[in-house]
Amino acid sequence: MSRLFFREALCRAMAEEMERDSRVILMGQDIAAHGGSYAETRGLFERFGPARVRNTPVAEAVTVGLAAGAAAAGLRPLAFITYLDFLMLGLDALVNYAAKLRFKSAGQLTSPMVVKATAGAKGQGPTHAQSLEPWLMNVPGLTVLAPSTAGDAYGMLKTALRAPGPVVFIDHKKLFPRGGSVPDTEELVPVGSAAIRREGKHLTIVAHSYMSVLALEAATALAAEGIEAEVIDLRSLAPIDWETLTTSARRTGHALFVEEGQVVCGVGAELAFGLRERLSSLRVARLGAKRAPVAPSPVLESFIVPDAKDIEQSARDLLLANVKNGTHRTGKEET
Amino acid sequence: MIRKLVVPKELGEGIEVRLLQWYKAEGDLVGVDEAILEFETDKAIVLVGAKQAGLLRKCFYGAGDWMQTGDVVGWLSDELDEPLPAERDAQAEVLLVSFDAT
């Protein structure tokens, strides 16, 4: 294992896959000579040249549309969307064309493209901070992956670049300043496999992306109080690893779903309901952002978006059966 | 007096950095605003020196090692024969400032 920055893990995955498969091309804003908005493509332009590492204009609809077309024509494009918020402009090409191409063409055409987009709140205000993963989970034909560690970023981006259909690969601004262990030899993370990050017997905390990092912090603090939380990092949002979730929740009897985005029709809504269909006596709770846009003020941002303390409190509330109706809880207590 | 060199907290809480290179070795004299070491964040390569002259007495990390903001990376002292303390973190802090890497 080597310790790498998150961006270096992504870069290594791209370089290896570009070396392995000449159909893999990169397209996005500032990814060529500049080396990427998060420095994640540093060195790739010099190594693979302008035909395979292409700058695009600030026009996400065009970028995703071109990627969908290039994929249908036989390439394996990776399109970069610097802020997940702006994937909205490319949703038509992604949802109506790429995700449905195999179905519409009776399997004659496929669209093996990857959209890499960066989600999450980090001081940049309401339209550069959203976590819109549930919108994408809802679309049949889309695979949605969201790593929380450098090692998974490496293994999951490689998997995405070999997938038969369109994949949305979602990372998070707060993951980039972190380092993590990356295997020295090639290791792929299969689609649909969640990871148990910490074992525990009292409740299951389910999170993805940066919230997995915070859930682990919360679990450490809860352990000091005698509460043993099992932390599951979803990694794959579509498809969901129901087996891992069900096995854990059956054992603990309590499941807390944590996400950075809105709880209304959110990841937790889907998972909580899906698990209750499988385990009818399961006690569940959700934690997500308050019902407001993410504010640019750091004070308001941290008020709106859940932190480790909120996760701890939601876990205590769930175990104390303080959650009204056993299903609903939005963000920090509104006062 | 022994003073500690700390990875600048101004980079942000919980930011990890990788030590790339020392420009001074244990025992070397370090002048004010002279480069001591270079590290890398997720975004930039940062060359730093101390706001206080002294002798570099101890390097706790080597090239390639990972540190976090707030970690003590080394000790400066006024005299070469000053005894080194047992506690890594107990001394007064010297401000590390960044230079433009040229």
3-state helix, strand, coil in chain A (%, to 5): 40, 20, 40
Residue in A8, A128, A260, A312 annotated catalytic: A128
Residue in A8, A17, A60, A301 annotated catalytic: A60
Q: Do A5 and B14 touch (CB under 8 A)?
A: no
Higher-confidence position of B71 and A324: B71
pLDDT band at A327 (very low <50, low <70, confident <90, very high): very low
pLDDT at position B99, please? 73
To the nearest whole number, what is the mean pLDDT of chain B? 89
Percent of chain A with pLDDT over 90: 96
Closest residue in B to A181 (Cα–Cα): B66
pLDDT at position A85, please? 98
CB-based contact, B41 to chain A, within 8 Å: yes
Low-confidence ranges of chain B (pLDDT < 50): 101-102
Q: Do A179 and B41 touch (CB under 8 A)?
A: no
Closest residue in A to B45 (Cα–Cα): A39
Q: Do A39 and B43 touch (CB under 8 A)?
A: yes
What's phi and psi for A90, nearest 5 deg? -105, 10
Taking the C-alpha atoms of residue A304 and residue A323, their distance in angstroms, rounded to an integer, is 20
Q: Do A5 and B42 touch (CB under 8 A)?
A: yes
pLDDT band at A328 (very low <50, low <70, confident <90, very high): very low
Alpha-carbon distance B98 to nearest alpha carbon in chain A (angstroms): 18
What's phi and psi for A155, nearest 5 deg? -70, -30
pLDDT at position A100, please? 98
Catalytic residue list contains A277: no
Alpha-carbon distance B44 to nearest alpha carbon in chain A (angstroms): 9
Domain B2-82+91-99 belongs to what topology? OB fold (Dihydrolipoamide Acetyltransferase, E2P) (2.40.50)
Catalytic residue list contains A60: yes
pLDDT band at A324 (very low <50, low <70, confident <90, very high): low
Q: Are strands A203-207 and B66-68 parallel, antiparallel or unpaired?
A: unpaired
Q: Is A316 left (phi over 0), alpha (psi -120 to 50) or beta?
A: alpha
Which domains occur in chain A, in start order? 2-182 (3.40.50.970), 195-326 (3.40.50.920)
How many A/B residue pairs have CB atoms within 8 Å? 27
Percent of chain A with pLDDT over 70: 96
A148: buried, middle or exposed (CB in 10 Å: 19+, 13-18, 0-12)? buried
pLDDT, tens digit, for every residue of A288-307? Answer: 999 999 999 999 999 999 99
pLDDT band at A274 (very low <50, low <70, confident <90, very high): very high
Instruction: Find chain A residues with C-beta within 8 A of B41's C-beta.
Output: 177
pLDDT at position A3, please? 96
pLDDT at position A330, please? 45
Residue A163 CB-half CA count within 13 A = 32
Q: What is the ipTM of this complex?
A: 0.81
pLDDT, tens digit, for every residue of A128-183? Answer: 999 999 999 999 999 999 999 999 999 999 999 999 999 999 999 999 999 999 99
pLDDT at position B11, please? 87
How many residues are listed for chain A in this entry?
A: 335
The mean per-residue pLDDT over the stretch A210-237 comes to 98
To the nearest whole number, what is the mean pLDDT of chain A? 95
pLDDT band at A331 (very low <50, low <70, confident <90, very high): very low
C-alpha angle B31-B52-B17 in degrees, rounded to nearest 5: 90
The mean per-residue pLDDT over the stretch A104-118 comes to 97
Instruction: Find chain A residues with C-beta within 8 A of B12's C-beta.
Output: 177
Is there a contact between B48 and B66 (Cβ–Cβ < 8 Å)? no
Is there a contact between A166 and A114 (Cβ–Cβ < 8 Å)? yes
pLDDT at position A333, please? 45
pLDDT at position B51, please? 87
Residue A190 has pLDDT above 50, yes or no: yes
Alpha-carbon distance B43 to nearest alpha carbon in chain A (angstroms): 7
